[in-house]
Amino acid sequence: MANGRDIRTFSILGADGSGKTALVEAFLRLADAKRANPEGSTSRLDAEPEEKKRNFTLSLHPETFEEGGRTFNAIDCPGFAAFLAEVEWALQVTDGALLTVSAVDGAHNRAERAYDLLAESGRPAFGVVGRLDHEQADFEKTLADIESSLKVKPIPLHLPIGIGPGLKGIVDLLTMKAHLADKAFGKWVEAEVPAGLEAAAEAARTALVEAAAENDDGLLGKYLEGGTLTEPEILTGLAAGASSQKFLVLACAAPKPGVGVREVLELVARLFPAPSARSVKGKDLHGTEVERLGDAAAPFCAQVFKTTIDHFAGRIDYARVFSGTLRPDATLMNPRTRTEERVAHFYRTDGAQTAEVKEAGPGDIVVLMKLKDAHTGDTLCDRDAPVALPEFRAPNRPVAFAVHTKGADDKAAAALHKLIEEDPSLELARHPETGEMLLRGMGQAHIEVTIERAKRKHGVEIALTPPTPAYLETITTTAKAQGKFKRQTGGHGQYGDCHVELEPRARGEGFEFEDAIVGGVIPRQFIPSVEKGIRGALGAGPLAGYPVVDFRAKLVFGSYHDVDSSDNAFQVAGSMAFKKAVLEARPILLEPIMKLEVRVPEDYVGAVMGDLNSRRAKVQGMEPTARGVLVRALCPHAEAMTYDADLRSLTQGAGWFTMDPSHFDPVPPPIAQKIIEKRRAEGKVKGIEE
């Protein structure tokens, strides 16, 4: 109970197409038929043009509604793999989660990843088998698929009466009563279990009661002694199981006709904890750990989990209240910036609209307008009792594209930075070696959607190309050369003479300069000039114009002129000596190697391994995971740039990966020759005289 209200705050996640948004729409129709599309379309929630174009959710959509005297806050989460970072954020700010599974498509593909995130979060959860009214629906097959794909035992709480177009209602295994769908949406008529389902219902109820008893020692003792568990006792055991993810309780629902929708909300109310039962921990401004209880009278504490920047409305932030009470004209602190934010008004979500509210307490989701500098993951708290909650985990961004604009670089950069404020799972940075501006994200679709939003919201046209691999050059043997710079200009001339010896170093050790001059053949003040000249020439190697790395340059001999020698002359001499010697040191091309960790269901391992071999990847090992196989491999960056799209195609969207830089390896000679020829044709290789 929060502020005198019975409230539940939960996430809805699952694979795209599993019926998440349709279920939220059904909740809205149940709460108020005027608020949602009567046909159950997703037009109210998936309101962005990019979502309408693809017909699935691309970002978090919070929704608040009342039903049966209770308040529900539901966050509809993306199901597409490239947008799953937002699912983690939603799980952090909610108290439970529904995992939707399609009775048509089963639990394969992206359902595994969604369940992994759910299991990692530790949030109480139950599943909802949806689309039972579809002509291709198969309830029994879906149960088997959940067990084989998610590696968790499904425990049905409902059984469908009929299937596909013949769906008539559900059997509630708690009460052992049939709920037959009425003509009115979300209404049902209670009846006896149909004769043809009695045996199946009895067996399913027995499994349900046993699962509930196993999660509570007291209930288990009572059950083993032959006692009958009451409905509240069964729910207590199921709630414990939902929290520990020892099994997955399953409800049944068909959102369009409204079958099972009210029952799902009842389970949310009965299986998920109230906000008052949850506490959060953070740190005060001195780094001391602080705990906030879900109490309306406690100091205020909320966390921003979504930010949008509207061309007309400005910054819009969505925050979950964990403790305290928010009222109009409040002044809050952002511990990250140590600044204050004034909240004159705040709102709740109403489909694609907002409605102003006068008070918000634990469990509430509020919409805050025009905050000065709040980012996703920031805490907003009482300025007299500051606390910073843990920020959201930074995601691995395995996919990058180079961004190009037509003479509007500043405008494009500003637009992308605004979009990154909305979605911190993106990153924009200039590559230190290639100089390209790279946009990194969770997947190709993630980046493409971002570019579409940049055009729609900010009027910026941005083109994407695969990034240029950051090749390097190095030497493989020792070599020695003289660099002598001598020039007469009528007055003082220029004279610098040095002998430099190059020798290779181990990979990754970089460049080292060694002064081996004896006898003062080069004055001490000019020795740093030789090093400076060599360093200045490292940026463009002799093969393809890439930086030269991992070698030692030893200055072993030279000469000077009392009048004509200068800092500049010895810089030029050092550069000349290096450029001559590097040609004799058998230079080779190095390519960046990426560390891949690929997670795939067992059925796709063979295809993935074959694809990795075709990319010149070296598989380092495989190990079983809870729901598939983890493949570790080292792959050249040039071959991994299209891996996101190709892996999705190979695994029907079920595989996902992380990618991080590992090291550099020599490029195979045939490939190196093609790179060198292309660079020279582009005029990227300079001669020694340059």
Helix (H) or strand (E) holding 306: strand 301-310
Average pLDDT over residues 507-516: 95
Residues 438 and 407 in one domain: yes
Question: Which CATH number does the domain housing residue 489 bear?
Answer: 3.30.230.10
Q: Look at the chain and report how many structural domains it folds into.
A: 5
Give the β-pairing of 158-161 and 169-172: antiparallel
Q: Rounded CA gap, 37 and 232, in Å? A: 35
Compare 163 and 56 and report the one with higher pLDDT.
Answer: 163
Phi and psi at residue 259, in whole multiples of 5°?
-70, 125
pLDDT digits (tens, 9 = 90+) for 448-499: 999 999 998 888 899 999 998 999 999 999 999 999 999 977 677 899 999 9
Residue 689 has pLDDT above 60, yes or no: no
| Mean pLDDT, the chain, whole residue set | 90
pLDDT in the model for residue 180: 93
Secondary structure letter of residue 173 according to DSSP: T
In a domain, residue 340? The reply is yes
Compare 346 and 44 and report the one with higher pLDDT.
Answer: 346
Question: Which CATH number does the domain housing residue 292 bear?
Answer: 2.40.30.10
Residue 597 has pLDDT above 60, yes or no: yes
Residues 145 and 183 in one domain: yes
Residues 29 and 174 in one domain: yes
In a domain, residue 239? The reply is no
Residue 3 has pLDDT above 80, yes or no: no
pLDDT in the model for residue 687: 59
Residues 61 and 187 in one domain: yes
Quick one: CA torsion of 74, 80, 86, 88, rounded to 10 degrees?
90
Phi and psi at residue 486, in whole multiples of 5°?
-140, 125
In a domain, residue 224? The reply is no
In a domain, residue 421? The reply is yes
Residue 46 has pLDDT above 70, yes or no: no
Average pLDDT over residues 312-331: 92
Question: Which CATH number does the domain housing residue 655 bear?
Answer: 3.30.70.240
Specify the residue for token string 């891996």.
643
Looking at 516, 551, 586, which one is the last position of a domain?
586
Q: Rounded CA gap, 669 and 633, in Å? A: 22
Residues 570 and 655 in one domain: no
Residues 200 and 165 in one domain: yes
Residues 455 and 485 in one domain: no
pLDDT in the model for residue 136: 94
Average pLDDT over residues 383-397: 92
pLDDT in the model for residue 109: 61
β-bridge mates for residue 331, sequence order = 342
| Cβ-based neighbour number of residue 492 at 10 Å | 12
Looking at 586, 617, 645, which one is the last position of a domain?
586
pLDDT in the model for residue 653: 82
Confidence bin at 45 (pLDDT 50/70/90): low
Residue 146 has pLDDT above 60, yes or no: yes
Q: Find the range with the poorest average confidence among 381-390, 409-418, 514-523.
A: 409-418
Confidence bin at 20 (pLDDT 50/70/90): very high
In a domain, residue 453? The reply is yes
Compare 471 and 35 and report the one with higher pLDDT.
Answer: 471
Residues 268 and 348 in one domain: no
Establish how many alpha carbons lie within 13 A of residue 611's alpha carbon, considering only the half-sphere containing its beta carbon: 21
Specify the residue for token string 């709630």.
239
Q: Rounded CA gap, 685 and 679, in Å? A: 7
In a domain, residue 310? The reply is yes
pLDDT digits (tens, 9 = 90+) for 163-204: 999 999 999 999 999 999 887 777 889 999 999 999 999 999
Residues 555 and 406 in one domain: no
pLDDT in the model for residue 684: 81
pLDDT in the model for residue 627: 75
Confidence bin at 625 (pLDDT 50/70/90): confident
pLDDT digits (tens, 9 = 90+) for 227-278: 788 888 998 888 888 777 789 999 999 999 999 999 999 999 999 999 999 9
pLDDT in the model for residue 354: 79
Confidence bin at 112 (pLDDT 50/70/90): confident
In a domain, residue 685? The reply is no
Residues 150 and 252 in one domain: yes
Phi and psi at residue 642, in whole multiples of 5°?
-105, 15
Residue 688 has pLDDT above 70, yes or no: no
Task: Extract the runs of DSSP E, i.e. beta strands, from 167-298.
Answer: 169-172, 177-181, 188-191, 247-252, 279-283, 289-293
Residues 178 and 290 in one domain: no
Establish how many alpha carbons lie within 13 A of residue 391's alpha carbon, considering only the half-sphere containing its beta carbon: 12
pLDDT in the model for residue 4: 58
Looking at 528, 551, 586, which one is the last position of a domain?
586
In a domain, residue 392? The reply is no
pLDDT in the model for residue 410: 81
Question: Which CATH number does the domain housing residue 101 bear?
Answer: 3.40.50.300
Residue 62 has pLDDT above 50, yes or no: yes
Residues 191 and 126 in one domain: yes
Range of the domain at 597: 590-673
